[in-house]
Structure 1
């Protein structure tokens, strides 16, 4: 299964904490804890939990059903972003979330390229209609 972005974010935080503890990282250069507060990680994981629960039913789903699942996950991530003053996800995090959604759909048998092409979208535009982060 596609790796959740929150997994890599937590891993980066742990590496940074180890470097700080070892004295190999200047505390002024540490930024991970500020970028990824636990409230953000927990809320994002809750959204992705819901998204993942909906995935098993998508292998034979209509385009509308797939788009509905994408819309729900994107709107929920919009809400997480709003709670964090519109700054929850920076460029890299946005790309990771979009890649995760794409990979997760693909792993469940959704041909994302064909789906987006049928609707006049580029492959990586599947979230654009609803995304505010």
Structure 2
């Protein structure tokens, strides 16, 4: 199963906290808690929970239905980003979220080559709605 990006982000926050507590990391070098505050992680997980709830049976769905689900998750992630001053997701985070959406769809039988049927490139599945 595709690993949620928030899982690795939470792991990074926890590792940094351990290093700070042990005195092996200079507090001025700590950045994970600033990049991934709990409110951001919780909001992102809520969006991904909803997305995952829509995945079962999507492999047999029409392209239009798949795009509705993708649009919904992307717009919800846009809202998360907006609530964090448009700075919730940097390049690596954006790529991780897009990969997660792609992998999750694949795991549920969705052939993401459906983008070609819509005149889009292979990795443009989220581009139509994505602001992050």
Q: What is the Cα-based RMSD across aligned positions, in Å?
A: 0.6
Unaligned runs of 5+ in 1: none
Per-residue CA deviation, residues 4-54 of structure 1 (Å, 9 max, x unaligned), is 000000000111111111111111000000001111001000000000000
Whole-Å Cα distance in 2 between the matches of residues 85 and 102 of structure 1? 26
Other structure's SS at 2:55 match: helix
Whole-Å Cα distance in 1 between the matches of residues 103 and 80 of structure 2? 21
Unaligned runs of 5+ in 2: none
Other structure's SS at 2:99 match: helix
Whole-Å Cα distance in 1 between the matches of residues 116 and 36 of structure 2? 35
The 4+ residue runs of structure 1 with deviation greater than 2 A are none
- Deviation of 1:57 (Å): 2.2
Hey, what does 2:39 align to over in structure 1?
39
Hey, what does 1:99 align to over in structure 2?
99
What are the equivalent positions in structure 2 for 1:17-96 lying under 5 Å apart? 17-96=17-96
Per-residue CA deviation, residues 67-114 of structure 1 (Å, 9 max, x unaligned), is 00000000000000010010000100000000000000000001112x
Hey, what does 2:8 align to over in structure 1?
8
Whole-Å Cα distance in 2 between the matches of residues 84 and 40 of structure 1? 8
Whole-Å Cα distance in 2 between the matches of residues 123 and 43 of structure 1? 28
Structure number with the higher helix fraction is 1
Hey, what does 1:111 align to over in structure 2?
111
Whole-Å Cα distance in 2 between the matches of residues 39 and 117 of structure 1? 36
Q: Provide the aligned length of Structure 1 versus Structure 2.
A: 132
- Calculate the TM-score normalised by the size of structure 2: 0.98
